[in-house]
């Protein structure tokens, strides 16, 4: 078995979907492993059927890859159902680790309420940090299959416990009261959980036999978990660590890490951005982003110049001795391959930000 690990080198939005889809298309018998994070990711590819953005599914899905949710991935039954129903190509098999954490509607709503209260633009508002915090308190944590084993009354009881967990910690604004207290919301969520439960198979990664595994990371190295609960990072290691942890039980014949970057820096929302500048100062080719745009939760898409020496240092610090290649997307906007080759031995260029 051969393994590829697709890693964002910066703040996310580098083109990980493009790279994942490319290697899936050019490989056989692929398992697309969603390594970390959750449905806050948005990995886009361009196909003959138009632009497709994957959140709860791997970007290799369109080209026939099966999906696997690792124990470091956070399930979101609502997003799973919403996305599954719109997939043009559905995976033949969808697997998940039994220890995956999972979000409820209350995690997501609390996330939005908190962001609105601080007037922030740092979160996708999918409840990732909220789910992590809640799961750390064992009284409010059960694994997904344990939740599904409860009869309906028990499921509602657990959801009400989660609801009360947040009511003790935040003030629910009046405009949120109706949806927050909705019984229909709970029953609809339970139906989504049943759907996801029926369409996924629980197993360990070592139980599966694939010729190729592509580990698709979320976010980027500069957003990796700092050990502090801060608004501008993610509660996840965004580098190679989780994939290597999962690969320990597989003994692959070859592992290659693929660090993805644009020829410039980008970032959504609040927080530091290295080399931040107006996109017009970067290159006249950087005019309009085809996959990222203003949204109410993350604000404007921001740009910065890319320092290849700093990029090399953070990649080498993360790679842990594994062979790696640099993947540069958006090369049609700005050609930086020659400069990149001064710092990296293996550089791959994509003339368009999305695979066709």
**187 vs 270, residue with greater confidence:** 187
Q: Are residues 214 and 317 in the same domain?
A: yes
Residue 13 lies in a domain: yes
Q: What is the pLDDT of residue 50?
A: 85
DSSP 87-116: -SS--S-EEE-TT-EE--HHHHHHHHHHHH
Q: What is the pLDDT of residue 257?
A: 98
Domain assignment of residue 45, given as a range: 2-97+202-264+307-349
Q: In this structure, what CATH number is given to the domain that contains residue 44?
A: 3.40.440.10
Residue 273 lies in a domain: no
Residue 146 lies in a domain: yes
Average pLDDT on 190-209 reads 97
Q: Are residues 207 and 105 in the same domain?
A: no
Q: Are residues 189 and 316 in the same domain?
A: no
Q: What is the pLDDT of residue 233?
A: 65
Average pLDDT on 72-99 reads 97
Q: Are residues 14 and 133 in the same domain?
A: no
Q: What is the pLDDT of residue 68?
A: 98
pLDDT band at 54 (very low <50, low <70, confident <90, very high): very high
Q: Give the domain-ending residue among 168, 198, 228.
A: 198
Q: What is the pLDDT of residue 356?
A: 44
Q: Is the Cα torsion angle 81, 82, 88, 94 positive or negative in sign?
A: negative
Q: Are residues 92 and 241 in the same domain?
A: yes
Q: Are residues 184 and 212 in the same domain?
A: no
pTM for the whole thing?
0.93
Q: What is the pLDDT of residue 204?
A: 96
Percent of the chain at pLDDT exceeding 90: 76
Q: Give the domain-ending residue among 165, 181, 198.
A: 198
**Which of 63, 89, 59, 96 has the alpha carbon at shortest distance from 208?**
96
Q: Are residues 188 and 232 in the same domain?
A: no
pLDDT digits (tens, 9 = 90+) for 303-316: 999 999 999 999 99
Enter the tokens of residue 34.
Answer: 């969603």
pLDDT band at 355 (very low <50, low <70, confident <90, very high): very low
Answer yes or no: is pLDDT of 271 > 90: no
Residue 106 lies in a domain: yes
pLDDT digits (tens, 9 = 90+) for 206-221: 999 999 999 999 999 9
Q: What is the pLDDT of residue 46?
A: 85
Answer yes or no: is pLDDT of 298 > 90: no
Residue 89 lies in a domain: yes
Average pLDDT on 235-257 reads 94
pLDDT band at 263 (very low <50, low <70, confident <90, very high): very high
**Phi, psi (5° rounding) for residue 147?**
-60, -40
Average pLDDT on 32-47 reads 93
Residue 281 lies in a domain: no
Q: Are residues 90 and 216 in the same domain?
A: yes
Tell me the C-alpha distance between 133 and 123, whole Å: 15
Question: 9, 311 in Cβ contact below 8 A?
Answer: yes
Number of domains in the chain: 2
Return mean pLDDT, the chain: 91
**Which of 180, 155, 185 has the alpha carbon at shortest distance from 170?**
180
Residue 116 lies in a domain: yes
> Which of 10-14, 294-298, 315-319 is predicted with the least confidence, judged by mean pLDDT?
294-298
pLDDT digits (tens, 9 = 90+) for 103-146: 999 999 999 999 888 766 556 678 898 999 999 887 788 999 99
Q: Are residues 69 and 107 in the same domain?
A: no
Q: What is the pLDDT of residue 299?
A: 64
Percent of the chain at pLDDT exceeding 70: 91
Answer yes or no: is pLDDT of 232 > 90: no
**288 vs 90, residue with greater confidence:** 90
Q: What is the pLDDT of residue 242?
A: 97
Q: Are residues 225 and 113 in the same domain?
A: no
**Residue 75 CA to chain centroid, in angstroms?**
11
Return the number of other C-beta atoms located less than 10 Å from residue 270's C-beta: 18
């Amino acid at each position: 078995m051969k393994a590829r690990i697709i890693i964002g080198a910066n703040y996310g939005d580098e083109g990980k979907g493009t790279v994942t889809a490319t290697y899936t298309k050019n490989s056989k018998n692929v398992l697309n492993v969603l390594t970390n994070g959750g449905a806050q990711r948005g990995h886009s590819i361009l196909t003959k059927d138009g632009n497709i953005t994957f959140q709860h599914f791997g970007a290799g899905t369109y080209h026939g890859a099966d999906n696997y949710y690792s124990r470091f991935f956070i399930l979101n039954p609502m997003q799973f159902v919403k996305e599954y129903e719109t997939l043009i190509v559905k995976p033949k098999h969808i697997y998940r680790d039994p220890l995956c954490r999972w979000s409820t509607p209350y995690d997501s709503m609390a996330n939005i309420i908190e962001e609105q209260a601080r007037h922030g633009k740092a979160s996708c508002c999918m409840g990732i940090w909220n789910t992590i915090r809640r799961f750390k308190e064992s009284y409010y944590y059960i694994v997904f299959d344990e939740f599904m084993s409860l009869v309906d009354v028990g499921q509602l009881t657990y959801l009400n416990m989660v609801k009360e967990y947040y009511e003790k910690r935040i003030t629910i604004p009046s405009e949120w009261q109706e949806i927050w207290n909705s019984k229909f919301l709970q029953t609809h969520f339970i139906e989504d959980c049943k759907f996801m439960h029926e369409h996924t198979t629980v197993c360990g990664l070592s139980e599966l036999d694939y010729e190729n595994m592509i580990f698709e990371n979320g976010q980027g190295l500069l957003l990796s978990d700092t050990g502090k609960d801060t608004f501008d990072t993610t509660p996840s290691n965004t580098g190679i660590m989780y994939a290597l942890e999962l690969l320990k039980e597989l003994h692959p014949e070859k592992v290659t890490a693929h660090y993805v970057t644009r020829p410039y820096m980008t970032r959504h929302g609040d927080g530091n951005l290295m080399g931040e500048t107006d996109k017009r100062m970067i290159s006249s080719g950087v005019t309009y982003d085809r996959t990222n745009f203003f949204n109410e939760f993350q604000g404007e898409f921001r740009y910065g110049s890319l320092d290849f020496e700093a990029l090399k240092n953070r990649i080498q610090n993360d790679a842990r001795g594994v062979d790696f290649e640099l993947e540069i997307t958006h090369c049609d906007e700005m050609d930086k391959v020659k400069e990149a080759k001064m710092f990296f031995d293996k550089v791959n260029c994509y003339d368009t930000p999305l695979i066709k």
